[in-house]
Amino acid sequence: MQFGIFGVGDIAPDPTTGVPRSEAQRIQDTIRVAEAADELGLDVFAFGEHHNPPFVASAPPVLLAHVAARTKRITLSTSITLITTNDPVKVAEDYAFLQHVAQGRVDVMLGRGNTVPVYPWFGQDIREGVPLALENYNLLHRLWREDVVDWEGRFRTPLQGFTATPRPLDGVPPFVWHGAIRTPEIAEQAAYYGNGYFANHILAPNFHFKPLVEFYRQRYEHHGHGRAQDAIVGLGGQAFLAHRSQDAFARFRPYFESYPMFRGTSLEQMAEGTPLSVGSPQQVIDKTLTFREGFGDYQRQLWAMDIGSIPVEVALEQVELLATEVVPVLRKEMESRRAPGVPDAPTHASLVRAAYGDAEPRQARPRPNSGDNTSGPLPYLDSDPAKVAQMPRYA
Q: Count the neighbouring beta carbons within 10 Å of the beta carbon of residue 280.
A: 19
pLDDT at residue 135, as a whole number: 97
For the chain, the farthest-separated pair of C-alpha atoms sits apart, in whole angstroms, at 85
CATH number of 2-366: 3.20.20.30
Coil, helix or strand at residue 195: coil
pLDDT at residue 395, as a whole number: 41
CA distance 302 to 2: 8
pTM score, two decimals? 0.92
CA distance 180 to 213: 10
CA distance 318 to 64: 21
For residue 130, CA distances in Å to 84, 144, 332, 349 come to: 8, 21, 39, 32
Q: What's the length of the chain? A: 395
**Beta-bridge partners for 45:** 5, 76
- Of 179, 193, 194, 187, the closest CA to residue 110 belongs to 179
374 CB-near residues (< 8 Å, 6+ apart): 368
Look at strands 300-304 and 233-241 and give their pairing: parallel
pLDDT at residue 377, as a whole number: 46
pLDDT at residue 378, as a whole number: 42
Read off φ and ψ for residue 208, nearest 5 degrees: -60, -35
pLDDT at residue 372, as a whole number: 77
Contact status, residue 278 vs residue 265, Cβ threshold 8 Å: no
Q: Count the neighbouring beta carbons within 10 Å of the beta carbon of residue 240.
A: 27
Contact status, residue 379 vs residue 387, Cβ threshold 8 Å: yes
**pLDDT tens-place values along the chain, 395 residues long:** 999 999 999 999 999 899 999 999 999 999 999 999 999 999 999 999 999 889 999 999 999 999 999 999 999 999 999 999 999 999 999 999 999 999 999 999 999 977 778 889 999 999 999 999 999 999 999 999 999 999 999 999 999 999 999 999 999 999 999 998 888 999 999 999 999 999 987 778 899 999 999 999 999 999 999 999 999 999 999 999 999 999 999 999 999 998 888 888 999 999 999 999 999 999 999 999 999 999 999 999 999 999 889 999 999 999 999 999 999 999 999 999 999 999 999 999 999 999 999 999 988 887 766 677 765 544 444 445 565 455 444 44
Host H or E run for residue 44: strand 44-47
95-104 CB burial, b ≥16 within 10 A, e <16: bbbbbbbbeb
Domain residue limits, the chain:
2-366
Contact status, residue 75 vs residue 44, Cβ threshold 8 Å: yes
Full DSSP string of 217-277: HHHHHHTTSS-GGGS-EEEEEEEEE-SSHHHHHHHHHHHHHH-GGGTTS-HHHHHHHSSEE
